[in-house]
Amino acid sequence: FVLSPGSDPTAALLTFAAAQGYGSKISVISMGQGQGPKAAALIDSARKAGSWVLLQNCHLAPSWMPALEKVCEGIKPENTDPDFRLWMTSLPSPAFPVSILQAGVKMTNEPPAGLRANLRRSYALDPISSPEFFEGQPRPGPFKALLFALAFLHAFVQERRKFGPIGWNIPYGFDDGDLRISVRQLAL
């Protein structure tokens, strides 16, 4: 996944993995200082076992990218289980190996344009889209009103991003993960 500011495909990928029967066979590691060797070991074991690996935020480990390129070059059909999948997320970065980009399938997840589209997308996110969560609150009237206010704030902040810091003192990305956490807190 090539990330755009404010997007986090992790929840969608975990949902997809569960739907494909890999919910318990996916390992997630957030890249950063010192995580490279752990990620390489995880990839090697998953490659043999036929499980999935998600390397989050590869742009935060630019010094490990050449090693990642070598690891990916070693993945061959004859030494890899056919069920193995390697997922990576990264902001656009000059340190990310071009060979991996050329060999892989690239996806991007950008917030929709327009307030209405952003609101619809917010209501389609987990856990809001779950009928059990949405309808199962002890005080549904106040919950739905507060949820709409929260979704509207999220949509508004997402829409304001395209204007940059104009009218804002500090730019802040109220992304999908922040909305998900806020909704769960609201449900408490």
Task: Convert the pLDDT of each residue in 24-80 to its tens digit.
Answer: 899 999 888 888 899 999 999 999 999 999 999 888 888 999 999 999 998 899 989
Q: Give whole-number Cα distances, 32 to 87, 91, 132, in Å.
A: 16, 13, 37
Q: Average pLDDT, whole number, for the chain?
A: 85
Asked if the model's pLDDT at residue 172 lies above 70, the reply is: no
The model's pTM is: 0.70
Checking if the pLDDT of 22 tops 90, the result is: no
Local confidence band at 155 (pLDDT 50, 70, 90 cut-offs): confident
Q: Is 96 helix (H, G, I), strand (E, B) or coil?
A: coil
- Collect all residues with Cβ–Cβ distance below 8 Å to 58 and sequence separation of at least 6: 31, 65, 68, 88, 89, 90, 93, 96
Confidence of residue 182 (pLDDT cuts 50, 70, 90): confident
Structure tokens at 170: 């500090």
Percent of the chain with pLDDT over 90: 24
Compute the average pLDDT of residues 150-155: 89
Q: Does residue 166 have a pLDDT over 70?
A: no
In angstroms, the CA 141 to CA 127 distance is: 18
**SS3 for 109?**
strand
- Which pLDDT value is given to residue 163? 67
Q: Which residues pair with 2 in a beta bridge?
A: 90, 108
Contact 158, 6 (CB under 8 A): yes
Query: Are the C-beta atoms of 96 and 65 separated by less than 8 Å?
Result: yes
The 10s digit of each residue's pLDDT in 74-130 is: 889 998 999 999 999 888 888 888 888 888 888 877 767 888 988 998 888 878 888
